[in-house]
Structure 1
Amino acid sequence: MRSHQKQAYGALFLCTNKALKKLAQDKRFVGSDRIGYLAGLHTWGGMLQYHPHLHLVIPGGALSDNNQWISSRQDLFVHTKPLEIIFKAKFKDAMKKAGLLVKIDPAVWKKQWVIDSQAVGQGQNSLRYLSRYVFRVAISNNRIKSIENGVIEFLYKDREKNKWKNMTLDAMEFIRRFLQHVLPRGFMKIRHYGFLNPNSALSIEKIRELISLIHDIIALFTEIPEREIPGIKCSHCGHDLNFMFFVKPEPRCRPG
């Protein structure tokens, strides 16, 4: 990937999109492939090591064929295990089409690839976290502690212990690590897909209306009434009716 960045990084974005849409179309997850999300490319870890990966922020739902909002589960968008399998297969195929498959160690395809998915509520924390990296380079000036006698000392965060530590590198190694994160000229590291793409046929304002509408309807029909329903009598015994539970309609039933 380091030697063929434009092809490999482009494949990361493309194959992620294809894999997500394939799984989202499954009715066990969302039921439509008309999803929307933003994706950001990172190539570094805390110690400036080479670690290309994508961060995605995905709204929990999709648009139906007739432009209605379909919500995903609150705790899940798609399962990560099938997403790993589908993405890996598509990425391998993309590398083959690019003529790069022979340059990749076959053991790579036997390893488990890491996909992490977390429900984050309304998403402000994810956007705030990701926004700190959008226009940054691999290391900021405030992490560099000292530059003396050809040695650079900088801070990095140990994720396992959740604490900051010091690392020292000689100048040439520091420059080598830094320069491997310079992207190809003109490469877009932040991309918007589906209904979050600026060229989407539906505006973000219209999608907000659709989401608000469906939540208003759900609230209307799931409002818990008083336990007793005064004025409504049982036709058999004559007593007031009591609310017990809602009955989920059969899939063939449609409102109206």
Structure 2
Amino acid sequence: MSQFIALLERYQAKLEQQYGRLLNQDIRRAITDMLHCKNDVNRTTQWHCGHCQHDQQLPASCGNRSCPQCLHQTTSNWLVKQTDKLLPVHYFMVTFTLPYQLRVLARQHPKALYQLMLQVTAGILKDFAKRENKGSLGFTSVLHTHNRRRECHPHVHIIVPCGRYNAVKKQWCKSDKQYLFNEFALAKVWRARVIDAINQSAKLTMPTDTPKKWMVDCRKVGFGASAFKYLSRYLYRGVLPDKDIINLSEEMVTFKYKESSTNMTKVRTLPVLEFLWLILQHVLPKGLQRVRDYGFLRGNAKQLRLQILLILGGDISTMATPVKRKRAVCICPCCHHEMHFMGLSRLRN
């Protein structure tokens, strides 16, 4: 069992007592799922060995994207999928960060705020590209809700290939690999559009102490593979891996993290209940799509990407060949051959 889930099970009653007013429906659902993950006799996976005919039942995973025990295959498959779409060009990562004064909205109305952030950032990049009149962009947006200390820190990372595709001329327009868009101009538009969107929202209310300067970071990230690997770390395997929890006591939890400015390993120690809430506040609302592809990187644009790859003189064999996705594997305890998954069984009460 995950160390985080073990703590959650042990301190559930105290957590409810201290933070109950902050636990929304999505967080409560995640808690229930995690406590039953690989621990529910009423939900089992059925496996059969074709070599020795052995049958086996195993407790089923909960499948909740906030669960540290689940969806590791999903993370690997997403990374393979994004790597398969890489073009032989330089890439940029643009990061739009929400000021801390607005982070209270993330706790009050997470779905409305995060949807707004993803929509606004995508619109900004499309409009900046449109002004240059060189063609359309392709990009992938990923919502992150925390910093390395695991505090509430909503921001959107966007991976952008260096170049545009002109659909009318069927041409690839090269861009300056040293420059995508002006960061200060992006930041001004980011601030103006978020404020405007919040003022028009029926759920969100703009705080009175909104800062004048907002942060947008735009930097080169090579040929893209390392950037996608970085983004995949926290997508589908919980906020904090067990390996980063380095000490547990009756009342305190210590975990390690890498400081972004120095890349040095730091440690943070918190009371158990405060630690549990620190992680649980990042449970995403049900139905929120935190990863979105646009333009020629969207899922149904494979033929367009093949055409761009041909224009760029790249190797189309890897993109044309279907990529094998990793799947769950169970090894037979009797003959050590790979077993076949037969389905999920649910017992009714």
Give the counterpart letter for 1:85 in structure 2. Answer: K
Structure 2 unmatched runs, 5+: 1-105, 315-349
Which structure has more relative contact order (CA 8 Å, sep 6+)? It is 2
Give the counterpart letter for 2:278 in structure 1. Answer: R
Cα distance, 1:208–1:201 mapped onto 2, change above 3 Å: closer
Structure 1 unmatched runs, 5+: 214-256
Quote the sequence identity (%).
30
1:164-217, Cα deviation, whole Å (9 max, x unpaired): 12211111111111111000012111110111111338532122123339xxxx
The normalised TM-score by structure 2 is 0.56
Q: 2:177 aligns with which of 74, 94, 103?
A: 74
Q: Does 1:207 align with 2:308?
A: yes
Q: Does 1:88 align with 2:182?
A: no
Q: Does 1:19 align with 2:120?
A: no
Residues 185-224 of structure 1 aligned to structure 2 (within 5 Å): 185-200=286-301, 202-212=303-313
The normalised TM-score by structure 1 is 0.75
For 1:87 and 1:33, how far apart are their aligned partners in 2?
22
Q: 1:41 aligns with which of 118, 143, 168?
A: 143
Match in the other structure for 1:252: none
Residues 214-253 of structure 1 aligned to structure 2 (within 5 Å): none
Q: Does 1:112 align with 2:213?
A: yes
Q: 1:163 aligns with which of 264, 279, 289?
A: 264
Give the counterpart letter for 1:93 in structure 2. Answer: D
For 1:105 and 1:175, how far apart are their aligned partners in 2?
27
Q: Does 1:142 align with 2:247?
A: no
For 2:250 and 2:231, how far apart are their aligned partners in 1?
35
Cα distance, 1:17–1:33 mapped onto 2, change above 3 Å: farther
Count of equivalent residues: 208
1:99 is displaced (CA, Å) by 2.7
Give the counterpart letter for 1:132 in structure 2. Answer: R
Name the SS for the 1:18 alignment partner: helix
Cα RMSD for the two superposed structures: 1.9
Q: Which has the higher helix share?
A: 2
Structure 1 stretches of at least 4 aligned residues deviating more than 6 Å after TM superposition: none
Contact 2:188 2:213 in 1 (8 A): no
